[in-house]
A and B are shown apart, each in its own frame.
Chain A
Amino acid sequence: MSAQTLEVLNAFLQMPQEWRYGYDISRHTGLKSGTLYPILMRLAGHKLLETHWESSEPGKPPRHMYKLTAAGLRFARQHVTSTSKLIFRTKFGSTGS
């Protein structure tokens, strides 16, 4: 799994119950739209992400909103945690022993 996908999953884990929109995730993770959307598409394709259209203020188009599914949450917690542990071990493993 790519570091960018982990970034996205991590962003969702910050507020797991809230619906997020693309530009918000892009600003939060620093990922460009061309990187972010293919990741979101893959997550949704694997049923890890649910999407819905939400009508916004008058005169503005509806927004496509995203939230991790229950399976997505489990997946994100498992992978983000294990990757964090791996990074921690790589950085501090040798000094800790």
Chain B
Amino acid sequence: MSTFRTLALKILHGVVRLAPPHATEWSLAMLCEVDFIENDWSALSWALGSTRLLLTRPTDSQVANSSLPGAIQKLRAKVRQRTIGGCGLALAETLAYAALIYGFPSPIQRLGCCVGIAAMFYTGYQLFAWRTRKAPMAADLLDSGDYYRAELLRQRSFHRGLCLWSRLTVMICALILFCVGGIIAEPDGLRAYVSIGIGLVCVRLVAVWLNLRQARSYQRDTEQVDKFLPTLDHQTN
């Protein structure tokens, strides 16, 4: 076997190994085809062309067929990570509010802390509420599509609409009670409490922006799945 052909085969085997899921079959097709090319130089040229497959992007239906189980796994990992992060933050804020209950003498401030703790519990509830059933088997594309869509919708709801604004309202109420209570109890600390209040409102505004951005991202993914589902439905029937 000539050097050119050996090199061609090495390139093609490498492409088969590295090809993204939607291009695997095509890279194999190119590898098999090289055996039918008699000229060694042409075989090398053929093999070099195969590297283009590594840069191709899948069409919508190819994504639906090859990447849906992967997308589900990715989404589940992301949701798990965010749930753990969200619970961690909620727990930290709960502990901070709990510590403040004993640190401040003003009953209004204590009430604010209690409302803050309630807000954190409410956030925790929202993180776990309406969780979808267990992920289906990867082989069942239609079921996977439905599961993926339901999970995307749940995530989208968490990051916008009633869920977002209700938990934000409770958090802001806690903040107002805490600051107003502080100002009443210590009129000299007016400037400090106003600064704390403004700082925390800014943090909440950033959180709202991030939540709405996240919701838009889930909305885009949902629309993408909606495009796949009729195709999947057609394939399964």
Determine whether the beta carbon of A64 is less than 8 Å from that of B33: yes
Scan residues 59-74 of chain B and give those whose CB is less than 8 A from a CB of chain A.
59-62
What would 28 A/B residue contacts be, using CB atoms closer than 8 Å?
Answer: A21-B33, A21-B36, A23-B33, A26-B46, A32-B45, A32-B49, A33-B30, A34-B52, A35-B49, A36-B49, A37-B29, A37-B30, A40-B26, A41-B23, A41-B59, A45-B22, A45-B59, A45-B61, A45-B62, A46-B61, A56-B36, A60-B36, A61-B31, A61-B32, A61-B35, A64-B26, A64-B28, A64-B32
Contact of A23 among B23, B36, B59 (CB under 8 A): B36
| Complex contact A37–B50 (CB within 8 A) | yes
- In the docked arrangement, what's the CA distance between A36 and B33, Å? 13
Contact A34 B59 (CB under 8 A): no
With contacts A22-B29, A45-B59 known, is A34 near B50, CB below 8 A?
yes
The residue in A38, A42, A51, A56 that gathers the most chain B C-beta atoms within 10 A of its C-beta is A38
- Contacts A45-B58, A46-B61, A47-B61 given: A33-B46 contact, CB under 8 Å? yes
| Cβ-based interface call for A30 (8 A) | no
Q: How many chain B residues touch the partner (CB < 8 A)?
A: 27
Distance, CA A47 to CA B231, complexed state (A): 11
**Across the two chains, which residue of chain B brings its CB closest to A31?**
B49
User: In chain B, residues 4-35, which have Cβ atoms closer than 8 Å to a Cβ of chain A?
Assistant: 22-23, 25-26, 28-33, 35
**A63 interface hit (Cβ, 8 Å):** yes
CB distance from B233 to the nearest CB of A (A): 14
Residues of A within 8 A of B30 (CB): 22, 33, 37
Q: Given A23-B36, A35-B49, A41 and B61 touching (CB < 8 A)?
A: no
Which chain B positions have C-beta within 8 A of A23? Answer: 33, 36-37, 46
Question: A: which residues have CB within 8 A of B?
Answer: 21-23, 26, 32-38, 40-42, 45-47, 51, 56, 60-64
Contacts of A46 in B (CB 8 A): 59, 61
Chain A residues lying within 8 Å of B25, measured Cβ to Cβ, are: 51, 64
Measured CB to CB, the closest approach of chain B to A78, in angstroms, equals 20
How far is it, in angstroms, between the C-alpha of A60 and the C-alpha of B35 when the chains are bound? Answer: 7
A37 touches B32 (CB 8 A): no
The residue in chain B whose Cβ has the minimal distance to the Cβ of A36 is: B49
Question: In the complex, which residues of chain B have a beta carbon less than 8 angstroms from the beta carbon of A41?
Answer: 22-23, 26, 53, 56, 59, 62
Report B-chain residues with C-beta under 8 Å of the C-beta of A32.
45, 49
Bound-complex Cα distance A34 to B49 (A) = 4
Which residues of A sit under 8 angstroms from B37, Cβ to Cβ?
A: 23
Q: Are B33 and A22 in contact (CB under 8 A)?
A: yes
B48 within 8 Å of A by Cβ?
Answer: yes
Given contacts A34-B52, A37-B30, contact A63 B36 (CB under 8 A): yes
Interface centre among B29, B36, B59, B62 (most CB of A within 10 A): B29
- The answer for the CA separation of A62 and B31 in the assembled complex, in Å, is 10
* Smallest CB gap from A21: residue in B: B33
Q: How far is the CA of A47 from the CA of B235 in the complex (A)?
A: 12
Assembly CA distance A42 to B61 (angstroms): 10
Question: Nearest 4 pairs between A and B by C-beta?
Answer: A45-B59, A34-B49, A33-B49, A64-B29
